Amino acid sequence: MAGTGKAHLRDTDDVVLRVEDLTVQFPAGRGRVVQAVSGISLDARVRETVGLVGESGCGKSTTGRAILQLPPPTSGSVRFDGTELTALRGERLRRTRTRLQMIFQDPISSLNPRRTVRDIVAEGLRIWHREGGPAARQRVDEVLDAVGLDPRLVGDRRPHELSGGQCQRVCIARALVLEPAVVLCDEPVSALDVSVQAQILNLLEEMKQRYGLTLLFVAHDLAVVKRVSDRIVVMYLGKICEVAAPDVLFARPAHPYTALLLRSIPELDDGSPAPARTSGELPSALDPPSGCRFRTRCPRAADVCARTEPRLRRTGPDQYVACHFPQDAPADGPTAGRSRP
């Protein structure tokens, strides 16, 4: 699966976030490292939602946190609104990062149980001395009202007195109070009931339009990502395998791994034969396969997949794939006669 390359990056004035060759490694003892993210590149335009999707352990959440420098990446470039974040330290980094906020996966555990909702949302204002007294209270109440919470009812409550959906609304309010330009949504609905998920997704879309936000939406559920995203980036084992617009990705997936994810979306049983499945175990990030990382599970793998890492290349309008033998290749074409590594 994928590889390297920057063919999918866009050179336009409205690109607010541009990530190039991002690498994140963690020590694993005895001189070994976990290659969590291995040289990926992506970008996001103003008011755009970029969905980052893949199975658990693919590095999507690590990518998001590395963009926010939590912690800083091992190597690579992260440019936000023309500023290189990896070159910033201390006060300059913290001040710049107020314009990049995060919504966490578990809304309840990400809130301080000892503090009231109003104190939680107002904390950023106090830290950065943006507003105080009545002005701060008014700003907090405005944001709480914007996310669908009555400040008179919930302002003095603590997180354990709220439902999961209400806690996630508090997290969204906390992220918005400092007027960010980019918000990282790290699986913000995976811990919620299905009915509440729809409410939160609608709220995020409403906040995006109201505040002019750019969203980086991390999730493992392609159905959710399709609903909210303007562009989808598919990851596998620390690499990007495909980038496409949602409708294109669902109609014509070019990478075998993307097709596997689409087949994994639950559907009602209509009696039709089950689709073919990939084989093999998920490789370890301690020792990823050579060449294409998906080759050990790919039904289309050939010898070249073990020798050469594929590069992202354009296969259609706003669709890029890192695969030697993409799904739209003819059966009697370049894939004929290949042998499994």
pLDDT at residue 275, rounded to an integer: 54
Q: Is residue 274 part of a domain?
A: no
What residues of the chain score a pLDDT lower than 70? 1-3, 130-131, 268-280, 329-341
- The pLDDT of residue 5: 86
Domain count, the chain: 1
249 within some domain: yes
Domain hosting 23: range is 15-81+181-265+280-321
CATH number at residue 54: 3.40.50.300
- Give the full edge-to-edge strand order of the sheet including 75-80: 33-45, 15-27, 75-80, 83-84
Query: For residue 221, what pLDDT is reported?
Result: 86
Residues 6+ apart with CB under 8 A from 189: 168, 196, 197, 200, 201, 219, 224
Please give the pLDDT value at position 274: 53
The pTM (predicted TM-score) of the whole model is 0.90
Instruction: Quote the CA–CA distance of 221 and 231 in Å, as a whole number.
Output: 15
Q: Is residue 74 part of a domain?
A: yes
Around Cβ 247, how many Cβ atoms within 10 Å?
10
Is 141 among the domain residues?
no
Closest by CA position to 242, among listed 251, 228, 227, 254: 254
**Residue 240 is encoded by which pair of tokens?**
């990007």
Position 335 scores a pLDDT of: 41
Whether 220 is covered by a domain: the verdict is: yes
The confidence score (pLDDT) of residue 323 equals 95
Rounded to whole angstroms, what are the CA distances from 111 to 15, 152, 265, 325?
32, 19, 31, 46
Pairing of strands 214-219, 49-53: parallel
**Do the domain assignments include residue 115?**
no
Does 147 fall in a domain?
no
- Is residue 222 within 8 Å of residue 234, measured between CB atoms? no
Q: Is residue 76 part of a domain?
A: yes
Q: pLDDT digits over 177-205, tens only? A: 999 999 999 999 988 888 899 999 999 99
What is the rounded average pLDDT for all residues in the chain? 89
